[in-house]
Amino acid sequence: MDYAVIMAGGIGARFWPESRQARPKQFLSLFGSETLLQATLSRLNGLVPPERMLIVGSAAHEKLLREQVPYLPPENVLLEPQGRNTAPCIAYAALWIRKLGFPEARMLVLPADHFVGDVGAFQRTLRAARELASEPGVMVTIGIRPTRPETGYGYIQFEDPPLRWIEGQPVHRVRSFAEKPNLATAERFVKSGDFLWNSGMFVWRVDTILEALRRWAPEVLEPLEALGEDLTDAQALGRAYGLLPKISIDYAVMEKADSVYVLPGDFGWSDVGSWLAVYELAPKDAQGNAFEGSVVALESSHCLVRARNRLVVLIGMHEVAVVDTPDALLICRLARAQQVKEAVDRLQLWNMREYL
């Protein structure tokens, strides 16, 4: 039996002005009409039934979370009283599934705000991963074959040759996890051929991850496990979360554990880190423009325009992102998309709360 655990607690500011504190990235429709969260669930169709899809998100976004997935049983939306990174989120979900009576179920742990181009390939990789993860004690992560020396991702070094093959997919033992590298290191990683991008997707049995947490990160597991039947009680959960460290599952468990395996995935994955990534992944016209909404362009190319609120006219613009919302407008050189966060920091500094 499988549970999907969608981690939807992100609070990123890199998609300002569409993303706001009240509506972070996973709730945005960056590609087509579905939000990233909705698309994350859609691409599990046929792999996990909706009644076994769990979403773990922030209590502050409860209304939005429920609106997004009206077809899920309400109890499948797990609300965290505060964001504590991925380790507490995963521990909470694992305890939840165990409490439902399925300690041997497999968990497919997936971020809610990524892009996958090839859903067929994605599902094939996950099927192989869950087969591998059926074995107690085995922890599986999905690595992405790097296409460029990206410095924005963590990397996973694997052992070659593969330990075995499942449904045509190689399974490698993990040698080490590497934090986000500098450019020279990233180039070395990519050239070496034995590094993959860390996608943040994991598969394991509930009892396996609980055991690993108990061994490597008891400070994460114990306050939650101590809740017992009170796991559903918001107040008790709030108190427990107050005791938890902010820590990622990579740092808390994966970097320390043995029996960690990686399956290389090749399914057009992106973590969609900025408006530049949205531009790159969007369908474009003959001038390389990706327009949404009402746009008139003269002598303009390689622009991303999201104009859902009003007519936008571009004249002589190239490699620029224009993101229009009712109260705020971003005009950003695409190559500078990383600096959107800086602009948001400035709004914060100047206490312009209505725009955050």
Closer Cβ to its own copies, 219 or 319, answer by number = 319
Please give the full DSSP string across 100-155, using - where no structure is assigned. HT-TT-EEEEEESS-EES-HHHHHHHHHHHHHHTTSTT-EEEEEE--SS--SSS-E
Provide, rounded to whole angstroms, the least separation between the CB of residue 346 and its own copies.
6
Provide, rounded to whole angstroms, the least separation between the CB of residue 22 and its own copies.
16
Torsion over CA of 299, 302, 304 and 310, rounded to 10 degrees? 10
Decide: is 180 part of the binding site for its own copies (CB under 8 A): no
Residues 329-348 that bind its own copies (CB under 8 A): 329-333, 335-337, 339-340, 342-343, 346-347
Decide: is 123 part of the binding site for its own copies (CB under 8 A): no
Decide: is 7 part of the binding site for its own copies (CB under 8 A): no
Burial (CB count <10 Å: 0-12, 13-18, 19+), residue 168: exposed
Q: Which helix (H) or strand (E) holds 281?
A: helix 275-281
Decide: is 64 part of the binding site for its own copies (CB under 8 A): no
Q: How far apart are CA 45 and CA 32, in angstroms?
A: 18
Provide, rounded to whole angstroms, the least separation between the CB of residue 356 and its own copies.
11
Closer Cβ to its own copies, 188 or 310, answer by number = 310
Q: Which residue has the tokens 């995963």?
A: 90
Which tokens hold the place of 17? 């002005």
> Taking the CB of residue 62, how many other CB atoms lie within 10 A of it?
12
Give me the residues paired with residue 195 across strands. 157
Provide, rounded to whole angstroms, the least separation between the CB of residue 327 and its own copies.
5
Residues 16-55 that bind its own copies (CB under 8 A): 16-17
Contact 87, 248 (CB under 8 A): yes
Decide: is 326 part of the binding site for its own copies (CB under 8 A): yes
Query: Could you tell me where the DSSP H helices lie in 12-148?
Result: 36-42, 62-68, 86-100, 119-132
Contact 29, 78 (CB under 8 A): no
Provide, rounded to whole angstroms, the least separation between the CB of residue 36 and its own copies.
22
| Interface mask toward its own copies for 269-298; x: CB under 8 A | ---------------------------x-x
Specify the pairing of strand 155-158 against strand 195-205: antiparallel
Distance of alpha carbon 305 from the chain centroid:
24
Closer Cβ to its own copies, 109 or 330, answer by number = 330
Provide, rounded to whole angstroms, the least separation between the CB of residue 286 and its own copies.
17
Provide, rounded to whole angstroms, the least separation between the CB of residue 25 and its own copies.
17
Q: For 318, which DSSP code?
A: B
| Interface mask toward its own copies for 302-321; x: CB under 8 A | -----x--xxxxxxxx--x-
| Count of residues interacting with its own copies (CB under 8 A) | 37
Decide: is 327 part of the binding site for its own copies (CB under 8 A): yes
Provide, rounded to whole angstroms, the least separation between the CB of residue 352 and its own copies.
7
| Residues at the interface with its own copies (CB under 8 A) | 16-17, 296, 298-299, 307, 310-317, 320, 322, 324-333, 335-337, 339-340, 342-343, 346-347, 352, 355
